[in-house]
Amino acid sequence: MIDLEPTVIDEIRTGYYRHLFHPDGLLTGKEDAANNYARGKYGIGREMLELALDRAVYDILLRNLDTPRPTYTNLNRLLGQVVSAVTASLRFEGQVNVDLTEFQTNLVPYPRIHFPLITYAPFIPASKAFHESLSVAQLTNACFEPANQMVKCDPRKGKYMSCCLLYRGDVAPTDVNNAITSIKSKRSIGFVDWCPTGFKVGINYQPPTTVPGGDLARTTRAVTMLSNSTAIREAWERILKKYNLLYSKRSFVHHYVGEGMEEGEFQDAKEDLAALVMDYKEVDS
């Protein structure tokens, strides 16, 4: 339930029927659109849309970082932290640096199967900065947990083709090797038959940096994992289902046709996405 103006939904949050609604599903802004469609669609409404769409990121803030009502700033800071970790090897020295061009070499087995699933650990709230310290093995295991993913899907329902682990901070190569050996021994983490040990490792000495006053605690080490997993097809299937619901009612189609698109382009795009889902299923099988 989303409303730009908080008054009505606040009544639900504190009212008699509040137990019927999960707090995660009640999203509010700070001001309404004042009956102005353009303001709602292109202004403050667009910011609320981001809160509604970034489900995985929103869940991380809510459950892992103790942020009861995440804002646009919270979302951007978290995403910025992950992007910074991915590109750290471009800016800092490390024992095993990974260039961005190596991602494509190690993560993409086929041209169309090129959508990485990004995971980050640890997600420790600032309030617990001095109470929690995770080992390299714990961080590595956390990368395979759905709660730490930036895309909402279940990796246990798919298979990994390759994984690129990017460590930052106080990390020793021997600890990384031991952690990966432990991961390989777990039956719950499956790899495709033709690539049973697909790990690429990068180690950067620069510890992770956080925004002062932000949601994340400052830690001595962190890891970001870019993986190519067939589980990400859940995201494409979700988009395809929602597209079918909208297109069956021809919702907003006239806007696109009015700007010069052909209706056949909608069908082509749908078929292309459906073919992508099938490609991932074939890899999985």
What are the residues facing 96 on neighbouring strands? 203
The pLDDT of residue 40 is: 66
The pLDDT of residue 54 is: 55
Task: Name every residue whose Cβ is closer than 8 Å to that of residue 211 and which is 6 or more positions away in sequence.
Answer: 77, 80, 81
Of residues 118, 107, 106, 225, the one with CA closest to residue 168 = 225
Per-residue model confidence as pLDDT tens digits over 118-161: 999 888 888 776 655 788 999 999 999 888 888 888 888 889 99
Please say whether the beta carbons of 59 and 152 come within 8 A.
yes
pLDDT under 50: residue ranges of the chain: none
The pLDDT of residue 244 is: 92
Enter the tokens of residue 64.
């892992």
Give the relative orientation of helices 72-86 and 44-53 as an angle to the nearest 10 degrees.
60
Is 102 considered catalytic here? yes
d(CA 153, CA 236) in angstroms, rounded, equals 10
Of the candidates 5, 47, 102, 237, the residue annotated as catalytic is 102
The pLDDT of residue 278 is: 94
Per-residue model confidence as pLDDT tens digits over 122-134: 888 887 766 557 8
